[in-house]
């Protein structure tokens, strides 16, 4: 089961990227979102499944590698990105905005994201990214609402 956990935890090896493994995991999620996941039911369903399985896989990886929140584990970024794009229009603008907002909040870790990392095992690994993703989604939703209120045309934001 450790092999399966490492495959899931590293998002099929993306976490072994020598540069920015978390970003690599997010980029796998961008590709899955863009080419495979159409509709909020799919996005939310895969995000929920990745989060649930990610708690298990991240915990197994952490114990196996003997390191708290190993950088190779990027299933948290995969699930997080999908949460960040949930209920947004399926456009390049929103996909990109959610990506950058999510990566920003994942790095900065505003309260309670940073504190949630203290949870044990896979819970701590996944929780901070879920919080960062919710923040990212809320910010992009707010920008979308502001653009609509200002009458910005559909070719730009809507």
Average pLDDT of 118-147? 94
Q: Specify the higher pLDDT residue, 64 or 154.
A: 64
CA–CA dist 24, 34 (Å, integer): 15
pLDDT of 155 > 60? The answer is no
Cβ(75)–Cβ(8) under 8 Å? yes
Question: What pLDDT does residue 73 have?
Answer: 97
pLDDT band at residue 117 using 50, 70 and 90 as cut-offs: confident
What's the DSSP call for residue 120?
Answer: S
Question: What pLDDT does residue 156 have?
Answer: 53
pLDDT of 157 > 60? The answer is no
Predicted model pTM: 0.93
Q: Which residue has the tokens 């870790």?
A: 109
Q: How far apart are the first and last CA of the chain?
A: 44
Cβ(59)–Cβ(122) under 8 Å? yes
pLDDT of 153 > 80? The answer is no
Q: Comparing C-alpha atoms, which of 129, 124, 140, 134 is closest to residue 89?
A: 140
């Amino acid at each position: 089961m450790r092999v399966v956990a490492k495959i899931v935890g590293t998002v099929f090896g993306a976490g072994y990227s020598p540069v920015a493994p978390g970003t690599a995991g997010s980029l796998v999620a961008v590709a899955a979102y863009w080419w495979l996941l159409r509709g909020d039911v799919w996005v939310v369903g895969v995000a929920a499944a990745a989060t649930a399985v990610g708690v298990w896989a991240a915990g197994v990886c952490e114990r196996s590698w003997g390191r708290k929140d190993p950088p190779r584990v990027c299933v948290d970024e995969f699930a997080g990105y999908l949460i960040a794009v949930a209920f947004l229009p399926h456009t390049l603008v929103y996909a990109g905005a959610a990506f950058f907002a999510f990566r920003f909040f994942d790095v900065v870790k505003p309260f309670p994201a940073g504190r949630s990392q203290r949870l044990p095992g896979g819970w701590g690994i996944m929780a901070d990214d879920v919080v960062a993703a919710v923040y990212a989604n809320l910010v992009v939703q707010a920008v979308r609402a502001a653009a609509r209120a200002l009458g910005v045309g559909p070719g730009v934001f809507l």
